[in-house]
Amino acid sequence: MAIDGARFLRDLHRLREFGAAGVGKGVVRPAYSDADIAARAWLAERMREAGLTPHFDPVGNLFGLADGPSLLLGSHSDSQPEGGWLDGALGVVAALEVARASARPVSVVSFQDEEGRFGVTTGSAIWSGALPLDKADDLTDHTGLSLAEARGRMAHLAGDFVDPGRFGGFLEMHIEQGPALDMSDDRIGVVSDIVGIRDMNITFTGQQNHAGTTPMALRRDAFQALSLFNMRLADRLRNVVTPQTVWTIGHVALHPNASSIVPGRATFSMQWRDGDADRLSRMEEIVRETAAEIAGEAGMELAFGPMLGIEPVAMDGDLRAALESAAEQVAPGRWRRMPSGALHDAANLARCMPVAMLFVPSIGGISHAFEEDTDEGDLVAGLDVLARAVDGLP
């Protein structure tokens, strides 16, 4: 098929203008923000030009539908609160270019809130049936806004949910977001499996008090409790984790967050990821036990928020083989099979159809940061692999 690398790069750069921020090619385009909604409207027009029928569902997932049964390609176009220009956007724009060029019917999707402002890969989790809509509607972002309120901003665009049964499979192209390809000579990664994730908020509530007059021994300082928890958790996890296991406290809200007040409340995100579902469960026990232990010692009330998660998932053998054969054509001897340590919409879609993914290198292994970037030659090579894989499917 005749893909147009220059047109693909032009579209990618144009999409970056929605929410362009920070140094380099940074983007601030969180789900349901003005920039996100404007970017989706722009994408819908590109889909229409490509001969697809644009369709928004009730949560803001945007589909460009081919007539009749088709293959689905895409990713997401929302960003982290501080993100790069390629995370998600690459897969959507590559899908658009393949849909334009392919003789086979190809539909395109940009899932909503993959970056988890409200959950974990929220839009595709709802669409694939992993997360019931009424439960999702109660999820809140860090400001307390609910998903129900946020998706109301797109209600004027919303149609019904698209039937997943109309798609024969899903292919997602993405940047690696880690250092493996960049540190090697390989230009393409074909994903073997995607790790699982668990994510929840934890709150320690102590006693807000005066920072000058409250003796250290009498304080019930929620930040001190969190600090202790963080250290002890690392210690407790040591015998359970592998070098590939990761855990992150990435968001902390101290109340009232003032220099002269002993913090009365600390609410923080607790996230962990691993390729083994049993290990994820064992880690959950340790997280809960350690938090309870610290709460007891430090005189804290303890509350756990809803537990969100996705199971580890293997990629489909046939789709993966098509990607591998295409990778060998485009980059002979310079591609590898590799697991994905990042979460992707494909992990949810595996519930309803065969899925597979390919990666291109991330310069310096940096992502979820303004500095995220990939050599444009690698971007076009990845597009070529995707197009050839689509062509090569039976």
Q: Mark residue 32 as left, alpha or beta (left: phi above 0; alpha: psi -120 to 50; beta: remaining).
A: left
Q: Report the Cα 382 to chain-centroid distance in Å.
A: 19
The pair of structure tokens assigned to 361 is 């290198």
In angstroms, give the least distance from the CB of 241 to ligand GLV. Answer: 18
182 lines the binding site for Mn ion (CB under 5 A): no
Q: Which does 343 bind (CB under 5 to 8 A by kind): ligand GLV, Mn ion, none?
A: ligand GLV
In angstroms, give the least distance from the CB of 25 to ligand GLV. Answer: 17
316 lines the binding site for Mn ion (CB under 5 A): no
With beta carbons less than 8 A apart as the criterion, state whether 368 and 145 touch: no
From CA 179, how far away is CA 364, in angstroms rounded? 6
**Residue closest to 118 by CA, chosen among 144, 157, 154:** 144
Interactions with ligand GLV, residue window 339-368 (CB under 6 A): 342-343
115 appears as a binding residue in the annotation? yes
87 appears as a binding residue in the annotation? yes
C-beta of 176 vs 186, nearer to ligand GLV: 176
Alpha helix segments (H runs only) across the chain:
5-16, 34-49, 89-101, 122-127, 133-137, 147-151, 222-237, 277-298, 317-330, 345-349, 376-392
The pair of structure tokens assigned to 145 is 């806004």
DSSP code of residue 298: H
With beta carbons less than 8 A apart as the criterion, state whether 75 and 344 touch: yes
From CA 277, how far away is CA 312, in angstroms rounded? 7
210 appears as a binding residue in the annotation? no
C-beta of 102 vs 374, nearer to ligand GLV: 374
From CA 281, how far away is CA 285, in angstroms rounded? 7
Q: Which does 57 bind (CB under 5 to 8 A by kind): ligand GLV, Mn ion, none?
A: none
DSSP code of residue 216: G
How many residues bind Mn ion (CB under 5 A)? The answer is: 2
C-beta of 115 vs 324, nearer to ligand GLV: 115
**Stretch binding Mn ion (CB under 5 A), from 16-24, 86-94, 287-295, 373-381:** 86-94
87 lines the binding site for Mn ion (CB under 5 A): yes
In angstroms, give the least distance from the CB of 342 to ligand GLV. Answer: 4
280 lines the binding site for ligand GLV (CB under 6 A): no
Q: Which does 12 bind (CB under 5 to 8 A by kind): ligand GLV, Mn ion, none?
A: none
From CA 348, how far away is CA 129, in angstroms rounded? 8
Its sign, for the CA torsion 22, 27, 30, 32, is positive
In angstroms, give the least distance from the CB of 88 to ligand GLV. Answer: 8
C-beta of 298 vs 385, nearer to Mn ion: 385
**Stretch binding Mn ion (CB under 5 A), from 81-89, 130-138, 142-150, 310-318:** 81-89
C-beta of 206 vs 382, nearer to Mn ion: 382
In angstroms, give the least distance from the CB of 273 to ligand GLV. Answer: 8
88 lines the binding site for Mn ion (CB under 5 A): yes
Q: Which of 57, 78, 97, 115 binds ligand GLV (CB under 6 A)?
A: 115
In angstroms, give the least distance from the CB of 141 to Mn ion. Answer: 16
In angstroms, give the least distance from the CB of 241 to Mn ion. Answer: 22
- Phi and psi at residue 336, to the nearest 5°: -145, 160
With beta carbons less than 8 A apart as the criterion, state whether 254 and 223 touch: yes
In angstroms, give the least distance from the CB of 193 to ligand GLV. Answer: 14
In angstroms, give the least distance from the CB of 294 to Mn ion. Answer: 30
With beta carbons less than 8 A apart as the criterion, state whether 255 and 203 touch: no
Q: At what angle do helices 89-101 and 34-49 cross, to 10 degrees?
A: 10
Cα-Cα-Cα-Cα torsion 117, 115, 222, 247, nearest 10 degrees, comes to: 160
**Residue closest to 43 by CA, chosen among 30, 26, 60:** 60
The pair of structure tokens assigned to 121 is 């890969």
C-beta of 205 vs 367, nearer to ligand GLV: 367
C-beta of 87 vs 193, nearer to Mn ion: 87
C-beta of 80 vs 290, nearer to Mn ion: 80
Binding residues for Zn(2+): 76, 87, 115, 174, 368
User: Under the rule (CB under 5 A), what is the footprint of Mn ion?
Assistant: 87-88
User: Under the rule (CB under 6 A), what is the footprint of ligand GLV?
Assistant: 115, 342-343
